[in-house]
Amino acid sequence: MRRSHAEVAPAVWRALQTYLHAIPPQSLSWYVAPEGGFLPLDDESWKHIREDMHERPCPVSRSVYLQEHHDEVGGYNFEYYGRRLDAPLFARDENSTCAVSFTLPTGYLMEHGPARVRALALELARELPFSFGYASLALVTPNEWWYAARRTVRELRDRYPGLDVYNLEQTSRVLGTRARGAYWLTFLGQPLLGQLGGLESLRQRLPFPDISFHSLDDERVLLTLGEWPEAIDTTKESPPPQLLALARMLEPFIYDEEVTGWFLHDHREGMEDMRRWIRRFCP
């Protein structure tokens, strides 16, 4: 969201309430305190988090981490990075954004089905003034602690390109109003949707029966690629043609990101590896 924290914080808070109503009670049990360290989520800490997002001045940036567990990977996580884009640090930076993520365990998808996950993603998206967003199968780790499992992560991401691997804080610093790639659910807002020619242009350029188009309003649209998200095991199958077509269309607008801890090469090799992986469905 290429908007400042003060503008998006109320929408992010409403989306968080939607997420909390959709998941089992107490699925989020811990949060990261501003001074560091994990604290249990109770009524007092929820009050503190709400005040931190809504009422306290934001001199430069604001972040919120809510997790299912504090010492192991959990399926339910919430992350938010807010920035005051008119602050001197960001005033001349066209690529900084505010960003938010919500995760669900695979068991939620299997129990409730993809239609419910898609409906929830739409509910969340309606609240948010996004330029780009997505939903995908993903590898998740608390606070992007990829380093300890980096070899396994690389093996999985190379074999299963339908699995997303992300670092929201880092991506939110550089994404701007560009795209991160093509996904099972791909949300396009302004100015990206306009740069792609609008909804009717998308329909003409992506004439696949497995792609559905859902207009949220005149400024935002959701593209759905098939009924289920797919991990895509490259030892057995190729990426579906509709995914490749969407990736080709988005490729001129895909961003470049710095190296993260799950890329194991030196800086120069890692940058190129990262670029290839982000564009893994592009020609």
Confidence of residue 240 (pLDDT cuts 50, 70, 90): very high
Tokens at 82, concatenated: 């807010």
Is the pLDDT at 192 greater than 90, yes or no?
A: yes
DSSP letter at 228? S
pLDDT of res. 144:
58
Q: Which residues contact 232 (CB under 8 A, 6 or more apart)?
A: 160, 161, 162, 238, 239, 240
State the Cα–Cα distance between residues 208 and 231, nearest whole angstrom.
20
Average pLDDT, the chain: 90
pLDDT of res. 154:
86
* pLDDT tens profile 36-51: 788 999 999 999 999 9
Confidence of residue 16 (pLDDT cuts 50, 70, 90): very high
Give the H or E element holding residue 168.
Answer: helix 168-174
* pLDDT tens profile 109-149: 999 999 999 999 999 999 999 999 999 999 987 655 666 77
* pLDDT tens profile 199-230: 999 999 999 999 999 999 999 999 999 999 99
Is the pLDDT at 263 greater than 80, yes or no?
A: no
The predicted model scores a pTM of: 0.93
DSSP 52-77: HHHTS--SSEEEEEEES-SSS--S-E
pLDDT of res. 159:
96
pLDDT of res. 196:
97
Residue labelled with tokens 């109320």: 10
pLDDT of res. 153:
85
Is the pLDDT at 71 greater than 90, yes or no?
A: no
* pLDDT tens profile 76-109: 999 999 999 888 877 678 899 999 999 999 999 9
Average pLDDT value for residue range 221-240: 97
Write b or e for each residue in 273-282: b if 16 or more Cβ atoms lie within 10 A of its Cβ, otherwise e. ebeebbbbbb
Is the pLDDT at 56 greater than 80, yes or no?
A: no
pLDDT of res. 268:
58
Confidence of residue 256 (pLDDT cuts 50, 70, 90): confident
Average pLDDT value for residue range 191-204: 97
**Residue 186 or 73, more confident:** 186
pLDDT of res. 151:
81
Estimate the crossing angle of helix 114-126 against helix 5-22, to 10 degrees: 150
Average pLDDT value for residue range 191-201: 97
Asked whether the beta carbons of 30 and 67 are under 8 A apart, the reply is: yes
Q: Where are the beta strands (DSSP E) in 114-208?
A: 132-135, 138-139, 164-165, 185-188
Average pLDDT value for residue range 145-160: 83
Is the pLDDT at 25 greater than 70, yes or no?
A: yes
